[in-house]
A and B are shown apart, each in its own frame.
Chain A
């Protein structure tokens, strides 16, 4: 692979590296972001933004190391600022429902709905903590590095998220 790179110009190296990143992470990041913002279309836009930021960074320095952690961190920041903007939007007179999540039929299982209901009630940092760990598969230490906090803080956020999810499951058991 490196030999091929030698004959490529810097832009081509950046392009090749970004292509590989996109292939590997596009699904993971998009699914993570869809859970974070609860809207597939917004998740796709945010995922694109992450890869464009990565692309710009690699264009400037094609040999720079770019980890999954960087991608998830950028994705998390993007999702948090998206949620902030959405909050402002609720105050504006827009009549169209903007967060219509088009979830696939085969994904509308009870678990999926329960998880999304819990995430909708959580502050973004807690959503990010639980999604980066049990959902995306990172350890609390790795998630802590992405979120710029400590592993214990991540564990505590996961616990708070778990508590909300537990409440929702209990509510559903009563109504079902």
Chain B
């Protein structure tokens, strides 16, 4: 019995398994089995094949999972479309607004200046996360926003500082919050670098909560994990090696839920720190909440949003590698104030 005969027998067995075999093919398979003990042992006769394949059919017939994706898809498709137009305005500005803030942050020096309010942005019905590396004065951002929904902009200005989501908390009438935007102004350097946080103007000091959380609880975890993925353990990996590319993403599980949950819990602020494994293409492959905000909906929405971000991969000797990015989001109840 030659190897090619057995390979042919596999094809025939596959045809029998799929109930596609002709009578001639069934005959050929039987003839092969009569002279090949190995195939009798590993593949079995026609009845055996049918018996094994019936497992697949029964497993399929027993499934009752009927997921409904329509709402999630509508949010995502709408979000992406809005993102292109909105992102375009930002991209044009990004050239003007230099990278300086980012670079200074990376250098662990005190930034010279940071706009008091990083950005004021309003988006129509979808919920977005802006992963932006640059900082712009608010007026410019508003001016650059396509004037497709001027009313919406005027009606619901949402103030977003770095990684801080302003959440409208329902008062008597539990009406969901409107559009929120999250901005990730620089790379993770901002959230891991206490010097930067300290240098922030008071209006942005809300970030301090990220920094304090990291130094208190998440820091040991961070250094451990950073070392374990370091090529050279002596030189610990710095998370800013991997940086968000920028762009707008839909925030699933919208912050309106966060607002209600926070009101229910009596929280005025919820912080979720997360770690993101980023592969060598800059695509997140897993997200882990390091410090829970205490509200599952917020944790989930942070991770789901982070998983949709794009990153510039960390490079070692010029070769892109996997890495872990850490950052935090702060949800502040009713934090919006007029500029």
Give the interface of A toward B (CB within 8 A): 18-19, 22-23, 26-27, 30-31, 34, 40, 44-45, 47-48, 51-52, 55-56, 85-86, 88-89, 91-96, 98, 104, 106-107, 109, 111-112, 114-116, 130, 133-135, 139-140, 152, 154-160, 162-163, 165-166, 169
Known: A89-B286, A159-B10. Contact between A26 and B68, CB under 8 A?
yes
Give Cα A112 to B280, complex, Å: 35
Contact with A along B196-239 (1 / 0, CB 8 A): 00000000000000000000000000001100110000000000
B17 located at the interface, meaning its Cβ lies under 8 Å from any Cβ of chain A in the complex: yes
Known: A139-B20, A140-B20. Contact between A26 and B67, CB under 8 A?
yes
Known: A27-B66, A93-B225. Contact between A140 and B14, CB under 8 A?
yes
Instruction: Please tell me if the beta carbons of B76 and A52 are within 8 angstroms of each other in the complex.
Output: yes
Instruction: Please tell me if the beta carbons of A158 and B73 are within 8 angstroms of each other in the complex.
Output: no
Given contacts A109-B62, A112-B63, 13 further A-B contacts (CB under 8 A): A30-B67, A34-B65, A88-B279, A89-B277, A92-B322, A94-B288, A95-B288, A96-B286, A107-B63, A111-B62, A115-B56, A140-B15, A159-B17
Give Cα A162 to B56, complex, Å: 9
Give Cα A114 to B56, complex, Å: 9
Residues of the B chain whose Cβ atoms lie less than 8 Å from the Cβ of A44: 67, 69, 72
Contact with A along B309-339 (1 / 0, CB 8 A): 0000000000000101000000000000000
Give Cα A165 to B52, complex, Å: 7
Instruction: Please tell me if the beta carbons of A133 and B65 are within 8 angstroms of each other in the complex.
Output: no
How far apart are A77's CB and chain B's nearest CB, in angstroms? 14
Give Cα A96 to B49, complex, Å: 39
Instruction: Please tell me if the beta carbons of B20 and A162 are within 8 angstroms of each other in the complex.
Output: no
Of B12, B69, B277, the contact of A48 (CB 8 Å cutoff): B69
Residues of the A chain whose Cβ atoms lie less than 8 Å from the Cβ of B283: 85
Of A56, A134, A156, the contact of B57 (CB 8 Å cutoff): A134
Stretch from B40-48, B111-119, B262-270 contacting the other chain:
B40-48
Of the candidates A91, A111, A155, A163, the one having the most CB atoms from chain B within 10 angstroms of its own CB is A155
Instruction: Please tell me if the beta carbons of B55 and A157 are within 8 angstroms of each other in the complex.
Output: no
Residues of the B chain whose Cβ atoms lie less than 8 Å from the Cβ of A94: 275, 277, 286, 288
Of the candidates A56, A91, A92, A162, the one having the most CB atoms from chain B within 10 angstroms of its own CB is A162
Known: A89-B277, A112-B59, A115-B59. Contact between A22 and B285, CB under 8 A?
no
Which residues from 239 to 285 on chain B have a C-beta closer than 8 Å to any C-beta of chain A?
275, 277, 279-280, 283, 285
Give Cα A14 to B108, complex, Å: 49
Residues of the B chain whose Cβ atoms lie less than 8 Å from the Cβ of A23: 70
B18 located at the interface, meaning its Cβ lies under 8 Å from any Cβ of chain A in the complex: yes
B3 located at the interface, meaning its Cβ lies under 8 Å from any Cβ of chain A in the complex: no
Give Cα A148 to B17, complex, Å: 21
Give Cα A23 to B73, complex, Å: 12
Interface size for chain B: under 10, 10 to 19, 20 to 34, or 35 or more residues?
35 or more
Give Cα A109 to B62, complex, Å: 8
Known: A140-B15, A159-B11. Contact between A27 and B65, CB under 8 A?
yes
B80 located at the interface, meaning its Cβ lies under 8 Å from any Cβ of chain A in the complex: yes
Residues of the B chain whose Cβ atoms lie less than 8 Å from the Cβ of A18: 73, 77
Give Cα A55 to B65, complex, Å: 24
Residues of the B chain whose Cβ atoms lie less than 8 Å from the Cβ of A160: 10
How far apart are A55's CB and chain B's nearest CB, in angstroms? 5
- Nearest first, the 8 closest Cβ-Cβ pairs linking A and B are A155-B14, A159-B14, A158-B14, A115-B59, A85-B285, A111-B58, A159-B10, A111-B59
B37 located at the interface, meaning its Cβ lies under 8 Å from any Cβ of chain A in the complex: no
Contact with A along B163-180 (1 / 0, CB 8 A): 000000000000000000
Give Cα A30 to B129, complex, Å: 26
Of the candidates B49, B80, B275, B277, the one having the most CB atoms from chain A within 10 angstroms of its own CB is B277
How far apart are B76's CB and chain A's nearest CB, in angstroms? 6
Of the candidates B15, B17, B43, the one having the most CB atoms from chain A within 10 angstroms of its own CB is B17
Which residues from 10 to 44 on chain B have a C-beta closer than 8 Å to any C-beta of chain A?
10-15, 17-18, 20, 42-44
Give Cα A159 to B228, complex, Å: 42
How far apart are A121's CB and chain B's nearest CB, in angstroms? 14
Instruction: Please tell me if the beta carbons of A114 and B55 are within 8 angstroms of each other in the complex.
Output: yes
Quick one: closest B residue to A130, CB to CB? Answer: B56
Quick one: closest A residue to B44, CB to CB? Answer: A166
B64 located at the interface, meaning its Cβ lies under 8 Å from any Cβ of chain A in the complex: yes
Give Cα A157 to B67, complex, Å: 29
Instruction: Please tell me if the beta carbons of A27 and B67 are within 8 angstroms of each other in the complex.
Output: yes
Residues of the A chain whose Cβ atoms lie less than 8 Å from the Cβ of B42: 163, 166
Instruction: Please tell me if the beta carbons of B14 and A112 are within 8 angstroms of each other in the complex.
Output: no
